[in-house]
């Protein structure tokens, strides 16, 4: 499932942003490369609104920012690795290292929850998390997701 939603062109290693706000914008642009400015802004605002409710940092170096908006049809994702980001609050105090952005329309709640659950299961596996953090480019990041899909 994740490999179909996250082809290497939707993965960036490393992501270039150094603040949470800039990171979210970068991920939206990566997830929706062909979106017009108004659509990209609407999606970005939906992600910011969700993030304002509570940080989407899950601990163990993982963050899964997400948003739901009628500006998209279907599920869209982007992902990558970041350096230390001081303004991304994780419940365990560990810096966020891997980020997966998930965008869905409000009507697609089932798929939204299924992807969030799959990412949480993936990142609980120490060997996969370590391999993901060690990825040096989009292809090696995608290869870790491919291995995870086989488990």
58 neighbors 39 (Cβ within 8 angstroms): no
With a pLDDT cut of 90, the percent of the chain lying above it is: 61
151 is a domain residue: no
127 is a domain residue: yes
d(CA 88, CA 131): 22
40 is a domain residue: yes
Residue 79's CATH number: 3.40.930.10
111 is a domain residue: yes
d(CA 50, CA 119): 18
Range in 6-15, 40-49, 114-123 the model is least confident about: 114-123
Position 84 confidence tier, pLDDT thresholds 50, 70, 90: low
12 is a domain residue: yes
Mean pLDDT of the 1-20 span: 90
Position 88 confidence tier, pLDDT thresholds 50, 70, 90: confident
- Cα Rg, the chain, nearest whole Å: 14
Position 114 confidence tier, pLDDT thresholds 50, 70, 90: confident
pLDDT of residue 102: 95
Mean pLDDT of the 108-119 span: 83
Split into its structural domains, the chain has a count of 1
Mean pLDDT of the 35-60 span: 94
Catalytic site positions:
66
In this structure, what DSSP letter does residue 8 have?
G
**Given a cut of 80, is residue 39 above it in pLDDT?**
yes
Mean pLDDT of the 91-115 span: 88
134 neighbors 100 (Cβ within 8 angstroms): no
150 is a domain residue: no
In which domain, by residue range, is 115 found? 2-144
Rounded to two decimals, what is the model's pTM? 0.94
Position 45 confidence tier, pLDDT thresholds 50, 70, 90: very high
121 is a domain residue: yes
149 is a domain residue: no
In this structure, what DSSP letter does residue 17 have?
-
- 64: closest CA among 17, 106, 23? 23
């Amino acid at each position: 499932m994740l490999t179909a939603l996250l082809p290497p062109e939707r993965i960036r290693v490393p992501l270039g942003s150094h603040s949470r706000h800039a990171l979210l914008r970068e991920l939206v642009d990566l997830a929706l490369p062909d979106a017009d400015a108004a659509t990209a802004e609407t999606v970005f605002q939906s992600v910011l609104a969700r993030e304002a409710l509570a940080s989407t940092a899950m601990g163990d170096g993982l963050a899964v920012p997400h948003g739901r908006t009628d500006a998209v049809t279907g599920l869209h994702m982007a992902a990558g690795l970041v350096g230390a980001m001081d303004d991304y609050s994780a419940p365990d105090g560990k810096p966020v290292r891997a980020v997966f952005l998930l965008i869905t329309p409000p009507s697609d709640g089932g798929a939204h929850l299924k992807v969030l659950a799959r990412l949480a299961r993936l990142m609980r596996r120490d060997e996969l998390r370590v391999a993901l953090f060690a990825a040096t480019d989009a292809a090696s990041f995608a290869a870790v997701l491919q291995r995870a899909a086989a488990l």
